Structure 1
């Protein structure tokens, strides 16, 4: 005859733990939320009373899964959430396929090489650093902007608009009152930029967008011809060939093509 303790364990196994489900509910409120959401915003997203949500957020902050800005009291996901996300991301096919190739790509291209996927924004998942050039901002797990990076522009050009429109709208709102050369200020200008990128098969960042660092980025497709990642090469402006038809651009396209082919992609004639 099972003991009372065993009986309770069986019940828990069948029905789960309500507190754990609530914790996960609070964590999922960050998905597709605005950057640095407020307690009110998070609680509204999951239909939870702010006082209850706050108690769980306090515990998540203590454990390192959430951080709270001491000045604004707004929240963001913490380092342990990032590590958990990266652990899940590491099982994605494109990462598994590309990871053993990255060192060879970096050696052939002669510059730091980066792989990014879409995870609520263009997210760096692999990086091979060339020589002494180290980008402190290009760390695994970093989420990049759409317009200020070649990787972001690649996703903007090939990712279905319904997946990028929220991030597009936020960034365009930043540039509209303060226009900058080489950056769109409305959706029509953004579409023109993305159309040109698709025609060339590459996105890039050069002098108009960055004086010190230049970059080229190419799309990676899977067997369904869906964009699954961007492969980017980046280097110091004075040492980097950012021309559309230069050796760096051609080498990058070949490298991205190898990963796409390994994922079952077949380019149309």
Structure 2
């Protein structure tokens, strides 16, 4: 069973609050259904929850009565019931993506030693709304309200990779001056966006500001829409951009955890919205 779906208190010692063991055991059936996202036969569901079918069945009968589980007609597979769906919708409504991500960027700034920011899509494009300074901050213009370049910054490239092309082109038209590149997707820009989608990360080195590098990871909502970026920024000489190194791994890990909290389920491939 994946660690991020373990029940709270599963590994707690005797000093933690006392719970009801049968609730925790039966709860593994709900965890298994939530993890798979589709109805399962009794034997498969029991196996995923680490119990025998005979042990699982009484729990499922009780969950059906509560509306947490429902069974397909004719004694078929078990899936999440109407009460579980209602609870899920209410939980999603309580989550504000920026509020949810704010404490996480503080943790990332401390662990990575780099400034970490949250950017959302604003009226003119990717806009910084939260900044967590590194223990030894680099003097970079990352104030709240700063609109990031779509072509030259990691945050901008990330949004350009995952938002509908028409939306990106409109932002390019609003922000690029008359003597800059026209508002279009050049082959070079397309290649950058394709690489971003392939790795799930955007990067920039010495882009808008010489000597400054950045990595950005996307956070998605329950509809698969990108709602914000987590962006780490630091001096190019001390900033590792490789996707297999710590900054990339940690950004991607936290972004995925936040996405899952917002109801996102990871698809096989991620493409921009139509």
Q: Do Structure 1 and Structure 2 share a fold, with TM-score over 0.5?
A: yes
* TM-score with structure 2 setting the length: 0.57
How many angstroms apart in 2 are the aligned matches of 1:253 and 1:173? 36
SS at match of 2:119: strand
- Structure 1 139/207 Cα, relative in aligned 2: closer, same or farther at 3 Å? closer
Matched, 1:113 2:116: yes
Q: How far off is 1:132 after superposition? A: 2.5
Deviation at 1:261, TM superposition (A): 1.3
Q: Superposed, which structure 2 residues align to 1:216-235 within 5 Å?
A: 216-235=215-234
The structure-2 alpha-carbon separation of the partners of 1:210 and 1:242, relative to structure 1 and needing over 3 Å to count, comes to: farther
Offset, 1:144: 1.3
Tell me how far 1:109 sits from its aligned partner: 2.0
Map 1:78-227 → 2, pairs under 5 A: 93-120=96-123, 121-169=125-173, 170-171=175-176, 174-176=179-181, 186-189=184-187, 190-207=189-206, 210-227=209-226
Paired residue secondary structure (1:211)? coil
1:11-39 CA deviation, whole Å, 9 max, x = no partner? xxxxxxxxxxxxxxxxxxxxxxxxxxxxx
String of CA shifts for 1:56-87, please: whole Å, max 9, x gaps. Answer: xxxxxxxxxxxxxxxxxxxxxxxxxxxxxxxx
1:173 deviates by 5.5
Alpha-carbon displacement from aligned partner over 1:209-245 (angstroms, at most 9, x marks no partner): 6531010001110011001001100101111111232
Is the 1:154–1:197 Cα contact (8 Å) retained in structure 2? Answer: yes
Aligned with 2:176: secondary structure? helix
Gaps of 5+ in 1: 1-90, 178-184
Question: Which residue of the partner structure matches residue 258 of structure 2?
Answer: 259
Q: Deviations over 1:194-213 (max 9, x none)?
A: 12211121111114665310
For 1:141 and 1:206, locate their aligned partners in 2 and report how far apart those are by CA, in whole Å: 22
Instruction: Flag the 1:172–1:265 CA change in 2: closer, same or farther, 3 A.
Output: farther
For the 8 Å contact 1:217–1:232, the answer to whether it is kept is yes
- Cα gap change, 1:142 to 1:208, in 2 (>3 Å): closer
TM-fit CA distance, 1:251: 1.1
Name the Cα RMSD after superposition: 2.3
State the SS of the aligned residue for 2:241. coil
**Inter-partner Cα distance in structure 2 for 1:204 and 1:173:** 26
CA distance in 2, matches of 1:108, 1:174: 41
Deviation at residue 117 of structure 1 after TM alignment: 0.3
In 2, distance between residues paired with 1:164 and 1:256?
Answer: 22
Contact 2:109 / 2:135 at 8 angstroms: preserved in 1? no
